[in-house]
Amino acid sequence: MISSALLALTVWLPQEPKVALPVPEQGYARPKNRIAGDKAMRIVFVRTSFANDSDPMVSRHSEAEMTEVGEALTSFFKIQSYGSMTVSKFEVSPVLRLGKSELYERTDKDGKELPAKQRRNAISDAVAAAQRQLGRDLKQEFDMICVMLNASPTGGKIAPPGVAALATGPQTSIFFGAKHQWRVYAHEIGHNMGFPHAWSVLDKNGAQTLSSDRNFIEYGDPTTPMGKGSNSYSLIEKYRMGWIGNSESDTRFIKRFDPGEMSFLAYDRPDAKGCVGGYINGEFGVEIKELVSKRDGADNGGDVPSTETPGPQRLWFSVISRGNLTKGDMADLPRPLLLAHLSSLVPPAKGAGKAFTTVSLDLKPAPARNRREQMAGKGLLPGQSGTIKMKDGKVVVVKFVAYDSQTHLAKVSAVLQ
């Protein structure tokens, strides 16, 4: 009696309507096969061993370690998405036995390269092992499959040189090291979601941000895990996910500014509502091919063309106010940082236009003396200014005019000269 009354009641309770996420402009959309920004994401950490391990029951990735990573990612995605995306489930698998390690090696213990043709794919084998050994279909059950490998007991190398982890497509990634921080997983899942690497531009003499005498630095963005950061995905990345919109009716939005005074809120506050950044259009003279051809075989997330002519460029402004994720939260930075990013849309030669995003500019007036400074100091503090040289010889003088630590409203001026 009671239960049927309750049932009737639940039928009549109004459903909480799910608000659709804003959709970015066409050129900024991610490939269609990527996870939606409001998905309840399910992640599995697949622990593996090799048949020739001294004890194939043992993975060097402990359950405790992976649980910690899963918890950090749960907090991270909730904060990043302003609550739109949740990690609804993460699971740490029992140790699954792969074949002998030689089957996966790129080079043997003497450094001799083994032919790619004969190499087995460890991700496919791990997924097959889950089916065989556990009766589980990981591709059906999970949105993200993170495969972790032991070191090869032969002393051969499985990872490509200098690579700690790799994402392959929208759902799978592989981790070659003994222990990775959560941000490495956030990086690979970022690729799974459709993000390329975040670059920075470092001016060699430091006088102007985009002089012709400049270096491009992969992973150079100080905030996003797609660069060297451990706090927030960049404004553009969040915009691409639909976590930020481009209409004033969206809870959080970006807008196009005219050069001059502009004001917007720090975009990384969990309660941010209103305009959280924006851009000005211009010809900043960075060509897409410069950004993607700096490293042979660079992993650009698979969606960055390297030869097409870039379209109109945008110079984006955003302010971060919170630091690295620790213990499930991000504390306020002592001082906020004004960041600038460049993006350039590729005109549609075939099919939809694609965005090339996430180049962080070094806005520091003085040259960085070492890599640590390059990474740490890409932005301007309140009161500081920098100049950005445009293709036509004009400069944009950027100043972080003021920041209100109560309202988190930033005042910025970007003047063409």
Give exposure, 44-64, as e/b (b: 16+ Cβ within 10 Å): bbbbbbbeebeebeebbbeee
Question: Quick one: 153 or 219, whose CB is closer to Zn ion?
Answer: 219
What are the angstrom distances between the C-alpha of 301 and each of 80, 242, 274, 345, 406? Answer: 20, 18, 30, 16, 38
CB distance 315 to 280 below 8 Å: yes
Reduced 3-state DSSP string for 238-262: HHHHCCCECCCCCCEEEEECCCEEE
User: Closest approach of Cβ 77 to Zn ion, in Å?
Assistant: 18
Question: Quick one: 187 or 269, whose CB is closer to Zn ion?
Answer: 187
User: Closest approach of Cβ 166 to Zn ion, in Å?
Assistant: 7
CB distance 93 to 130 below 8 Å: yes
User: Closest approach of Cβ 226 to Zn ion, in Å?
Assistant: 7
CB distance 397 to 387 below 8 Å: yes
User: Closest approach of Cβ 288 to Zn ion, in Å?
Assistant: 18
User: Closest approach of Cβ 295 to Zn ion, in Å?
Assistant: 11
Question: Quick one: 299 or 332, whose CB is closer to Zn ion?
Answer: 299
Residue 381 per-residue DSSP state: -
Question: Quick one: 287 or 299, whose CB is closer to Zn ion?
Answer: 299
Which residues in 27-46 contact Zn ion (CB under 5 A)? Answer: none
Which secondary structure element, helix H or strand E, spans residue 340, and what is its range?
Answer: strand 329-346
Q: What is the CB-side half-sphere exposure of residue 364 using CA atoms within 13 A?
A: 20
Which residues in 249-308 contact Zn ion (CB under 5 A)? Answer: 299
Question: Quick one: 104 or 175, whose CB is closer to Zn ion?
Answer: 175
Of 181, 173, 176, residue with least CA distance to 68? 181
Question: Quick one: 185 or 316, whose CB is closer to Zn ion?
Answer: 185
Question: Quick one: 75 or 219, whose CB is closer to Zn ion?
Answer: 219
Both tokens assigned to 58: 């043992």
Both tokens assigned to 102: 């030689």
Residues near Zn ion (CB under 5 A), total: 1
User: Closest approach of Cβ 191 to Zn ion, in Å?
Assistant: 5
| Residue nearest Zn ion, Cβ-based | 299
User: Closest approach of Cβ 355 to Zn ion, in Å?
Assistant: 17
User: Closest approach of Cβ 304 to Zn ion, in Å?
Assistant: 12
* 178 SS3 class: coil
Q: Using CA atoms in the order 369, 374, 380, 382, what is the torsion angle rounded to 10 degrees?
A: -70
Helix axes 182-193, 63-80, angle to 10 degrees: 50
Which residues in 324-383 contact Zn ion (CB under 5 A)? Answer: none
Question: Quick one: 173 or 344, whose CB is closer to Zn ion?
Answer: 173
Which residues of the chain form contacts with Zn ion (CB under 5 A)? Answer: 299
